[in-house]
Structure 1
Amino acid sequence: MTQLTNQRFLFPEKAVSGYLNGASRSPQLKALAAAARHAIWWREENAGMPIPAFFETVSLVKAEFAQLINCAEPDRIAVLPSTSYGIATAAKNLPLQQGQNIIVAEDQFPSNYYSWLERCKEVGAELRVVARPEPGATDSWSDRVLAAIDHKTAAVAIAQVHWADGSLFDLAAIRDRTNDVDAWLIIDATQSVGAFPTDVSALKPDVLCAGGYKWLMGPYGCGYAYFGERMDGGTPLEENWINRAGSEDFRNLVNYREEYRPLAGRYCVGQQSNFIMMPMQLEGLKQVNAWGAENIQAYCNELWSGVAPILANVGIELPEERAHHLVGLKLTDDFDRDVLSAEFERRGLSLSYRGDAIRVSPGCYNLPEELAELAGAFFKAVK
């Protein structure tokens, strides 16, 4: 693992100064803006588009995402407009019968909840929501998910890293248990892939989806999915021309084809070739691969190590098991929340409030001084 140095120079300074909110959306890389400007310039100068341009950049994007999740088959990657598109695709194809159950975690992101709620209503299945353990509990959240799985479980649909507080789920153990009962594992990796190591060759999920505008450094409105063998030959959400075999041959598009493009090619969104966004997505994925998720975790861990003892002095303990790029700090009644919010604003810090936690999500563009300002804000807000 190569030690990662601060990457602030790759972003506009105004965008990253005090920005501890990468879990909301990433700051925009300079390279993405340059790619968009070039794409717009090219469009201004050219009325048409060469046929290969409909396919080439899409293939490169799939290959970059496949590399990121250690997938040996780029054709198992689909280009999507959002995580919810991938989840809905999985829900449409999941064999589900009356009396079975689907398991989700409490306070899961809505995009990985509503599709399962509606699917369960549709067939008379149970949506089983696993509660977060209370402080001091002897079992973990993963333990509770494992305990909820039984012979009637059709699928576990869960995040790798919980979006609200950064809780880590033991996906390897959950995968083993779902295999025991022949259930699917569907992963929302939006808050993990790109910043946290993800290996589908080891984990073998049935579906893994990720929005592209957070840790994958892409523009808003893009996403990706890995579809495993259970999804081979499934039914896509939409029937578009470009997902069919032979779509490179524009002259024969009127000669309709039954066959789809290989593997996950059938699940890609229509107009996937988006000639402005696709070059931006490619630049973002290339940069994330160049950084390496292990290196990002190590960099963010170093940021926290400098302030963890200071935060502990005012009663803010970092979770023992956590992803270093997304940490939920639980507030006690010892803090004046109005003062704390004002201090964050005064110090130019951007972060998020999720439930009873303050979500702090740094990246490799942040400086130790910014985490020190965070600690200083907590000190000022002690009652």
Structure 2
Amino acid sequence: MSVKPKLFYNKWQKMDAWVRQKMCTWVTMKRNSRFMRTSLTGHFRDQFPLTEQTVFFNCGAKSPLPLGAYRRLQQFYQENLIDAVLPRIQILEEHYLHLKTHLAQLIHAQPDEIAIIPNTSVGINIALNGIDLQPTDTVVLPKNDFPCNIYPWLEHARRHEFEIQFAGTFQHCTTDDILNAITPQTRVVSVSFVDYATGYCMDVARIGAECHRRNILFVVDGIQGIGVKELNVRAAQIDLLTCGGPKWLLTPFGIGFAYIRREAFSQIHPQFVGWLAYDWGDFTDFRSLDRQLRPDASRYEVGTLPHTAIAAFETILHDYFLPLGVPHIEAYLSDYTHELISLLESYGFRYAGPRAAHERSQILRVAAPGDTTAIYHQFRDHQVDISLRDGHLRFSPHFFNNGDDLDRLESVLTQLKF
């Protein structure tokens, strides 16, 4: 540990208890005035019972389920106890269509460009299996990306003999690294909107503009940014965006969505086709052999969908994200993460993520002032839920975090053994 943090910690421990109490009271009042009175806490805070016992800064791994979604799931199963699903097929269809409408609003797309999928990996596979890649083609990927956006492409490249061009290093990859890796042979660029480890936010609009100019298909993994970072997929000229729901969108496991730009349908062909990808009219005649693929993104959906999770997802977007608005969530988390960084750095921790405002996100990569693994386990023992990634601590707060969490975190920080 560096000398400065150790000196600060020792001085804090030796400080008169009355003075320490007054300092904590002043900091608490400051935080309460800034965070606890905002519309992003209060009612919404009460929707996450987990926060009563845990300081939860780990939505980059898996978010807690809000009460509204839990109650919707209960209602769905209670209805199924007394009524089969098929008589209520019209209600299920309404939830499905409402969900697509809400998701389209969230990312500034059209509902007919949204497909409901189980997870992010399925969306990546829609792209790599649907694009006709030739041995002379190259796919550009960030070298430090999450395996979801690397291994499917690697496996497909082994079988179809196209080239993978990695950009950046295992530690970092920037927007410029991606742009510099593009060559005349590049057919696809696939990146994460927000990096899972560093919190670096790609300038997808710059990349999208260059891809569009050079007739390159642009694929984006949005799971670490959608819902907390504003993104207009049309303005960014993204051809396919894939996003699982269980992180920042607060859903149960097993549901997500893909956006496929309408103009890209002809270049991204469905390779795994379910019967519901075809238009069956009123669902009374299944003997026809000349049905056509649906003209919208539902052509990429395979088989019967998880309608239980769809009902919960629709409730989450309707009750939380759309009333709050992503720009307000993003602004709140920008202020909140600045406060969180200041608190951690006052105890000898060091923020190790991007510094430029346009490159930052709600994911904080933090270097510990000692044995990182040991400190991580101390946090967990004190009910502070964070992640350990690439030798750093990862803090990832959401809109339900408030000043109480910062106060409880500070109480834990005074007890840590470096």
Fold match (TM-score > 0.5): yes
Report which stretch shifted further, 309-318 or 171-180.
309-318
SS in 2 for 1:79: strand
Correspondence for 2:158 among 121, 124, 134? 121
Please show how residues 182-331 of structure 1 align to structure 2 within 5 Å: 182-228=215-261, 229-232=263-266, 234-245=268-279, 247-272=280-305, 274-286=306-318, 287-313=320-346, 314=348, 316-317=350-351, 319-321=354-356, 322-331=359-368
Corresponding residue of 1:89: 126
User: Contact 1:155 / 1:185 at 8 angstroms: preserved in 2?
Assistant: yes
Corresponding residue of 1:335: 370
Deviation at 1:240, TM superposition (A): 1.9
Corresponding pairs, count: 372
Correspondence for 2:402 among 363, 367, 373? 367
TM-score (norm 1): 0.89
What is the CA RMSD across the aligned residues, in angstroms? 2.3
User: Contact 2:140 / 2:167 at 8 angstroms: preserved in 1?
Assistant: yes
Distance 1:17 1:134 in 2: 31
Is residue 2:190 matched to residue 1:157? yes
Cα deviation, 1:106-146, whole Å, max 9, x if unaligned, reads: 231222112211222223221112224879xxxx7111111
Corresponding residue of 2:76: 39
Deviation at 1:282, TM superposition (A): 0.7
Correspondence for 2:107 among 69, 91, 115? 69
More helix by share: 2
User: Contact 2:372 / 2:393 at 8 angstroms: preserved in 1?
Assistant: no
Distance 2:417 2:168 in 1: 30
User: Contact 2:223 / 2:245 at 8 angstroms: preserved in 1?
Assistant: yes
Distance 1:119 1:338 in 2: 36
User: Contact 1:175 / 1:205 at 8 angstroms: preserved in 2?
Assistant: yes
Distance 1:16 1:201 in 2: 41
User: Contact 1:340 / 1:380 at 8 angstroms: preserved in 2?
Assistant: no
Distance 1:315 1:276 in 2: 42
Cα deviation, 1:41-60, whole Å, max 9, x if unaligned, reads: 11110135234245222111
1:16 to 1:162, Cα distance in 2 relative to 1, 3 A: farther
Distance 2:190 2:163 in 1: 13
User: Contact 1:149 / 1:177 at 8 angstroms: preserved in 2?
Assistant: no
Distance 2:191 2:338 in 1: 29
User: Contact 1:68 / 1:194 at 8 angstroms: preserved in 2?
Assistant: yes
1:59 to 1:370, Cα distance in 2 relative to 1, 3 A: same
1:48 to 1:214, Cα distance in 2 relative to 1, 3 A: closer
Deviation at 1:373, TM superposition (A): 4.6
Q: Which runs of 5+ in 1 are unaligned?
A: none
Corresponding residue of 1:345: 380
Deviation at 1:341, TM superposition (A): 2.3
State the structure with more CA Rg: 2
Distance 2:342 2:349 in 1: 10
Report which stretch shifted further, 25-34 or 236-245.
236-245
User: Contact 1:25 / 1:213 at 8 angstroms: preserved in 2?
Assistant: yes
**2:104 is matched by which residue type in structure 1?**
A
Deviation at 1:311, TM superposition (A): 3.1
User: Contact 1:101 / 1:155 at 8 angstroms: preserved in 2?
Assistant: yes
Deviation at 1:379, TM superposition (A): 6.5
Distance 2:410 2:191 in 1: 32
1:143 to 1:382, Cα distance in 2 relative to 1, 3 A: farther
Please show how residues 167-178 of structure 1 align to structure 2 within 5 Å: 167-178=200-211
1:122 to 1:61, Cα distance in 2 relative to 1, 3 A: same
Correspondence for 1:354 among 375, 385, 389? 389
Deviation at 1:193, TM superposition (A): 0.6
Moved over 6 A (4+): none
SS in 1 for 2:235: helix
User: Contact 1:103 / 1:157 at 8 angstroms: preserved in 2?
Assistant: yes
SS in 2 for 1:252: coil
Q: Which runs of 5+ in 2 are unaligned?
A: 1-37
Correspondence for 1:52 among 90, 112, 117? 90
Distance 1:89 1:134 in 2: 28
